[in-house]
Amino acid sequence: MHLAVLWWSGRLGQEVLKQALAHGWSVTTLVRKSWQLDTLASQNKNLLTIMIGDATNSTDVIKTIENADAVVHAVSVGLIHSKPTSLYSSTTQAVIDARPHTKAKHYVVMSSTWTHHIRKNMPRGIRHMYEYVLWDVADDKEQEELLLHASSLPWTIIKSPFLVKESISNLVNKTKKIHLTPFKLYKSSLFDIMSRNSIAKTILNIIANKTHIAEKVVPLVR
């Protein structure tokens, strides 16, 4: 398996890399700064290829995904960022533009359970707080999903609950079994949390088993 990971910031992208390499997969990743992966690079010289570039630039994306069997879009902005952002939809548009130049058969995109119809049905106070902090991110993720639906990409959207450290997740989630719930059936809860480790494991399982094409799924520990 040759995996391409589009990753700029945030810890989830690095967790996906670590687990894919641990499985013996070859990985090409597009980042802004190579030093973020110095340790992984030194430990996986024959498996990891690091590309420096812009995930919203189709030329850079082509170089990263052209030989990949699957692509993971884990590009994200920080909590504090310049508004409004179009990073998510621009990255997906770059992949759509690059598709004729790749053999990739699966495109897995990270999103959030707090977008789309659930966002509209939040309690007013929580919705106002969420939109005050991340309104532009929610808008752009929803735009990204529209692009995917209109494209011919074989996509899967991971609608993630709150991401936390493994230690915190273990305190709340007493069992370790991960269930994938169709997003349209998901009932939102502030108490749904997942570790980045579990989300990364879910992503790789979906890719390895070639499942959930053209589906939005919510990973939950039950």
Residue-range definition of the domain harbouring residue 144: 2-221
pLDDT at residue 167 in the model = 60
pLDDT at residue 193 in the model = 84
Token pair, residue 43, equals 């430990």
Number of domains present in the structure of the chain: 1
**Of 29 and 174, more confident:** 29
- Residue 73 to residue 185: CA distance in whole angstroms: 24
- Residue 109 to residue 90: CA distance in whole angstroms: 13
Enter the DSSP assignment of 5: E
- Segment 80-111, tens digit of pLDDT: 777 788 999 999 999 999 999 999 999 999 88
- Segment 110-169, tens digit of pLDDT: 887 767 666 666 677 777 776 666 678 888 888 999 999 999 999 999 998 888 777 666
Strands (E), 8-152: 26-31, 48-52, 70-73, 107-112
Of 38, 22, 27, the residue nearest 4 (C-alpha): 27
| Strand 178-182, strand 2-6: pairing | unpaired
pLDDT at residue 3 in the model = 97
- Segment 185-213, tens digit of pLDDT: 988 777 788 888 899 999 999 999 999 99
- Residue 41 to residue 90: CA distance in whole angstroms: 28
- Residue 9 to residue 110: CA distance in whole angstroms: 13
Cα torsion angle, 28, 29, 33, 34, sign: negative
pLDDT at residue 83 in the model = 73
Q: What percent of the chain has pLDDT over 70?
A: 85
What CATH number does residue 88 fall under? 3.40.50.720
pLDDT at residue 158 in the model = 95
Which amino acid appears at position 10 of this protein? G
